[in-house]
Amino acid sequence: MFLVVGQGNPGERYARTRHNLGFMVLDRLGLEFRERGEALLAEVEVEGEKGFFLKPLTYYNLSGQAVAPLMRFYKIPPERLLVVHDEMDLPLGRLRFKAGGNPAGNRGVASIAEALGTMAFHRLRLGIGKPPSRELGAEYVLSPFLPQEWPVVERVLEAAKEAVLCWVREGLPPCAGRFNGLDLSQGLGGKG
């Protein structure tokens, strides 16, 4: 059994913001989500394995409240959890699989780690680049992408959709090898 969590914030106000890349990736999968507790949930079967795709409705920084109960109820091991989230430490156009590590200031990832009591889950980090200054971090992640960034965002969303499906079918190592080196930033002068 597996669980893929797309991080984001509920509501139209946040729909096209940098912090909602995780939601956007799950939306690309064309799944039918239904409300369950503090989340939108889609149940699927992939090659004989039951799994779930989840969009927390708790707001980004409290994602663990929606993730942990499902993990416990279905006894899903941490290595079968993939969290898809935006990442300021990567430029726009880059994506990276990662196992474990630390939240590096990402409060949504920290919330999941705290609720599960471990960081032993997998992540698909989607680059959004750095804010103009550290103090503007919260404002930056809640801001919409600029019009000139959308062609790159679209390429990232398509690649991330394929990366998620790869992870479900093949696990982390082969998918990291396939996707971690991609640079989809064409149109931004190679800059993130």
Q: How confident is the model at residue 104 (pLDDT cuts 50, 70, 90)?
A: confident
Residue 122 designated active-site: no
For 49, left (φ over 0), alpha (ψ -120 to 50), or beta?
Answer: beta
> How does the average pLDDT of the chain come out, rounded?
93
- Going through 62-186 in order, the beta strands assigned E by DSSP cover 81-87, 95-99, 122-127
**Total-model pTM:** 0.94
Q: What is the pLDDT of residues 12-56, one digit of tens each?
A: 999 999 999 999 999 999 999 999 989 999 999 988 899 999 999
Q: Residue 122 phi/psi, 5° resolution?
A: -100, 155
19, 80, 94, 123: which is the annotated catalytic residue? 19
Neighbouring residues of 10: CB distance < 8 A, sequence distance ≥ 6: 55, 57, 59
Task: Kindly tell me if the per-residue pLDDT of 171 is higher than 70.
Answer: yes
